[in-house]
Amino acid sequence: MSHRGTARKAGGMQHAGGRVMYQEQRKRVFRRQAWGRVLGVRGCTEQRMDISFLFSVAAAGQTVPGAPTARRFTVDDFEIGRPLGKGKFGNVYLARLKKNHFIVALKVLFKSQIEKEGLEHQLRREVEIQAHLQHPNILRLYNYFHDARRVYLILEYAPKGELYKALQRSHTFDEQRTATIIEELADALIYCHERKVIHRDIKPENLLLGLMGEVKIADFGWSVHTPSLRRRTTCGTLDYLPPEMIEGRTYDEKVDLWCIGVLCYELLVGNPPFESASTSETYRRILKVDLRFPPSMSSGARDLISKLLRFQPLERLPLVRVLEHPWIRAHSQRVLPPSVPMAF
């Protein structure tokens, strides 16, 4: 082959290599833009995202009194500590802002896993909903950012860990602790429902405990914001599914009333009320509202649970009346935790 031929071949290889590099660069840009859309941001960069804390409100051209200003974060802004939990899509770590030593929980999610399961929009919905909620019994989402491979959620740190693990250790809770948790949850869910948010998956695994032992709703992965408060999607956890979800009927925020009834029973007894050896038997018992109370359960607790676990959603005890229920009033020791100044 002549020198010219060799040079031409080399030039062709270089051109092909450049085309491949260009195509790879284009793919990276498209992926970056796609994740920007998932998180509600346009024109974001891999290394730094400039996003408003309440981005959906800001996008609508509205202002929120007291809303924190936009802040750019990268993982280099944090000192990363011990792992707090591990999941299918990533891990949660104890972390501290280098600038002011503010302690947070940093939830690190792998984009590849989220994309593989097709859950990008569920993540966006979770972020949108939780970023708007500010209540002492709801875990705060302070901010979020992403890089080439991961999404980072900056969350409030709950020092006393998971309610589920606490229940496993003690098997059951006494009436005082259970009533306190139910009052805290009822108040938090009233707050959510007033803002047209249905949680749909209240259970011990999705609840954390703050510094004073107060409960914190921590997982909004199945939550939905719907102005009409009416949905048809089946979601949530088997033992906590209400009859209307199993039957595929349209449902509203009253699914959360069913869930706190199931939770109240589980905290007092150690297992959910309709737990069975098979899925079909669990479904059957839920649809029949086959509720069996142990002899040790007090009449007050039975009364509250039986008024929440009603087949017809309209017959379930409203949350404001849960707060006023004699059993709650007699046993709850709820104390509001001190507010923590925001470091963002």
Structure tokens at 76: 């280099």
Report DSSP state, residue 195. Answer: T
* Residue 268 DSSP SS3: helix
8 A C-beta contact, residue 44 and residue 122: no
Residues in binding site:
88, 107, 156-158, 205-206, 219
8 A C-beta contact, residue 255 and residue 200: yes
* Residue 217 DSSP SS3: strand
- Nearest C-alpha neighbor of 275 from the set 285, 288, 261: 285
Q: How far is CA 195 from CA 136, 186, 227, 254, 268, in A?
A: 16, 14, 8, 14, 30
8 A C-beta contact, residue 245 and residue 255: yes
Spot the catalytic one: 187, 201, 239, 256: 201
* Residue 188 DSSP SS3: helix
Cβ neighbours for 322, distance < 8 A, ≥ 6 positions apart:
182, 183, 186, 257, 260, 304, 308, 328
Q: What's the CA gap between 207 and 163, in Å, rounded? A: 6
Residue 201 among the catalytic residues: yes
Residues in binding site for ATP:
88, 107, 156-158, 205-206, 219
8 A C-beta contact, residue 215 and residue 137: yes
Q: What angle do CA 303, 307, 309 make, to 5 degrees?
A: 115
By annotation, the residues acting in catalysis are 201
